Amino acid sequence: MAQDSVDLSCDYQFWMQKLSVWDQASTLETQQDTCLHLAQFQEFLRKMYEALKEMDSNTIFERFPTIDQLLAKACWNPFILAYDESQKILIWCLCCLINKEPQNSRQSKLNSWIQGVLSHILSALRFDKEVALFTQGLGYAPVDYYHGLLKNLVLSLASELRENHLNGFNTQRRMTPERLASLSRVCVPLITLPDVDPLVEALLVCHGHEPQEILQPEFFEAVNEAILLKKISLPMSAVVCLWLRHLPSLEKAMLHLFEKLISSERNCLRRIECFIKDSSLPQAACHPAIFRVVDEMFRCALLETDGAPEIIATVQVFTQCFVEALGKENKQLRFALKTYFPYTSPSLAMVLLQDPQDVPREHWLQTLKHISELLREAVEDQTHGSRGGPLESWFLFIHFGGWAEMVAEQLLRSAAEPPVALLWLLAFYYSPHDGRQQRAQTMMACVVAPCRRGDLQPCGQRHSPAPTEVARDGTPHVAHCPAKRPFFPKVV
C-alpha cells in the first residue's frame, strides 16, 4: 500500500509536467505526443480516482495541493476529452473534490468552479481549431462528434446507475451514496439538455439503501421545474419516483395546477380536464401515496375557499381523470381501495368508483338506494368524533358528481312520492353538517312540497337540475343554495 502511494505521487508529478507542456504548446509534435500517451494517462486517472474516492475533500488537498490544476488542464485538453472513458473518469475525480456541506466561502467557490468545469465537459459547446481538425480527421463534423460523445457518456452513466439499482445489495459493485449525491449535483445545470434525459431518469429511478434521501434537493427542484415548464419529458415512472421521493415537488405541481386554473379567464369543464391531464397528476395518483397527498390538498382548498363551486367541479373532474388512468394502468387494481380511501367503507368506494353511465337505466334507482344505505350507515351509525364521520363520507361522495346528478334526475322524473333514500342523498349532499333530526326535517319539507324542475331544495330558492353540469356557454354550473352555504360544512 505504501509503495502504491509513492508510485502515485511520482506519477502525479510526471503527468503534471506533461499536462503543462501539452497546454503551452500547440504544435503537431505536441499533439502527437498527447495521442501517444493517452492510454497511459487514462490509466493514471483511474488510479487517481481509486485513491480520491477513499478521501474527503480536505484530505485530498492536503495530499495533492494542485489536484484542481491537474484536472483543469486535462478537462480543457480536447485530445484527452476525445475519449469518452477519459471524460467519465475526469467527472468522477471532480466529483470527489466537491464538499457535500461547504463550511466556508473557499469551499463554496470550489464547488461552483467544479460545477463550471463539469458543465464544460458535458455540454460540449466549445469547438476550437484543434478539435475541428481532430474530428475532421476522424471523418466527423464537430457537432456530430460531440453530440455522439455526450450521448455515449450519458448512456454509460445511466447504465451504471441501473446496474447499481439492480445490484444494490452487492457492496463491491454498489455506487457509494457520496457518488450518487455528487452526480445529482452535477446534473442540476444540465437538466434541460435533451441528451441528458436518460441520466436524469436513471437517477430518479435508482433508489439507495440509506435511511435518508441521497440525491440533492436542488436536483429534485430543478427536474420538477423543468417538468412543469415542459422543458423536459420523462416517463411517468420517473415522474412518480420524483414526487414520491421529494414531497415539495409534488406540492409545487399541485400549486402549479391551481395557478393555471386561477389565471385562466374562463374555465369550462373541458378546459379544466385539459389542465388536469396535462399536469400528469391523475396518472401519478394511481400510486396511493401520491393520491393521498393530492386529495388532502384538494380538501385544504375546499376549506380555504369555503367549498367554492369551482373547487368542487375541479375535484370531480380530477376524480374522473384519476379513475380513467386507474383503468388504463391495469385491469386489476394493484392496490386495495382502502389505500386510496382509508376512512370510508371499501364497499361504498367500490360502488362510487363505477361510471354511472355503465349502470343500466333500469338499475339506477336500486343502485342509488344502495349508495344511500351505505352512506347513511357510515354517517349516522358512526361513533361520535370518529375519523370516518360525516365529513369523510361527504368528501368521498362529492368526488363522484355523476351520482348526485343521477339523484336529481330520478327525483325530477318521479311522478309519485319521491323515495326517501334519494331525498336523504340530496339532503346530505347539500347539508352534510346537519344532524339526523335536522336532515329528517329537510326531507319532510321535500315530501310536503315535491321538487319541481328548477326547485330541487325546500328553501324556496331555484336551482339547476343537477349538482354539476355544463351550461350552454360551456362553463361549469354547480347547483347551490343562495339562502345558506350548502357545499362544505363549517369545521371549528
Query: pLDDT tens for residues 431-464?
Result: 777 676 676 766 666 555 544 433 433 333 333 3
Last residue of a domain, one of 123, 139, 173: 123
Domain that holds residue 367: 363-478
Query: Is the pLDDT at 275 greater than 80, yes or no?
Result: yes
Q: Which residues is 468 bridged to in the sheet?
A: 478
On the question of pLDDT at 483 being above 70, the answer is: no
Residue 409 lies in a domain: yes
pLDDT above 90 (res 285): yes
Domain assignment present for 351: no
Question: Per-residue confidence at 4, pLDDT binned at 50, 70, 90?
Answer: low
Mean pLDDT, residues 49-72: 89
Buried b (16+ CB within 10 A) or exposed e, 247-265: eebbebbbebbeebbeeee
In a domain, 370, yes or no: yes
The stretch 476-489 carries a mean pLDDT of 33
Query: What is the Cα Rg of the chain in Å?
Result: 32
77 inside domain: yes
Q: Tell me, what's the pLDDT at 453?
A: 36
- For the chain, how many structural domains are there in total? 2
User: What pLDDT band is residue 150 in, cutting at 50, 70 and 90?
Assistant: low
Q: Is residue 88 part of a domain?
A: yes
Domain boundary among 123, 156, 178: 123
Whether 60 is in a domain gets the answer yes
Decide if 169 is inside a domain: no
Where residue 174 falls among pLDDT bands split at 50, 70, 90? low
Q: Is the pLDDT of residue 231 over 50?
A: yes
What's the 3-state SS for the chain?
A: CHHHHHHHHHHHHHHHHHHHHHHHCCCHHHHHHHHHHHHHHHHHHHHHHHHHCCCCHHHHHHHCCCHHHHHHHHHCCHHHHCCHHHHHHHHHHHHHHCCCCCCCHHHHHHHHHHHHHHHHHHHCCCCCHHHHHHHHHCCCCHHHHHHHHHHHHHHHHHHHHHHHHHCCCCCCCCCCHHHHHHHHHHHHHHCCCHHHHHHHHHHHHCCCCCCCCCCCHHHHHHHHHHHHCCCCCCCHHHHHHHHHHCHHHHHHHHHHHHHHHHHCCCCCHHHHHHHHHHCCHHHHCCCHHHHHHHHHHHHHHHHHCCCCHHHHHHHHHHHHHHHHHHHHHCCCCCCCHHHHCCCCCHHHHHHHCCCHHHCCHHHHHHHHHHHHHHHHHHHHCCCCCCCCCHHHHHHHHHHCHHHHHHHHHHHHHCCCCCCHHHHHHHHHHHCCCCCHHHHHHHHHHHHHCCCECCECCCCCCCCCCCCEEECCCCCEEECCCCCCCCCCCCCC
CB atoms within 10 A of CB 179: 18
Residue 134 is placed in which grid cell? 481532430
Q: How far is CA 273 from CA 182, 231, 239, 360, 375, in A?
A: 40, 22, 20, 26, 28
Residue 295 pLDDT: 94
Q: What pLDDT is recorded for position 139?
A: 56
Instruction: Report the pLDDT value the prediction gives residue 195, as an integer from 0 to 100.
Output: 81
Highest mean pLDDT: which range of 61-75, 402-416, 460-474: 61-75
**Domain membership flag for residue 305:** no
Domain final residue, candidates 123, 157, 187: 123
Q: pLDDT, tens digit, for every residue of 249-263?
A: 999 999 999 999 888
- The pLDDT, as a whole number, for residue 329 is 73
pLDDT at 215 over 80: yes
Instruction: Quote the pLDDT of residue 75.
Output: 86
* Residue 400, C-beta contacts closer than 8 angstroms, at least 6 positions apart: 316, 319, 352, 353
Tell me the pLDDT of the chain averaged across its residues: 76
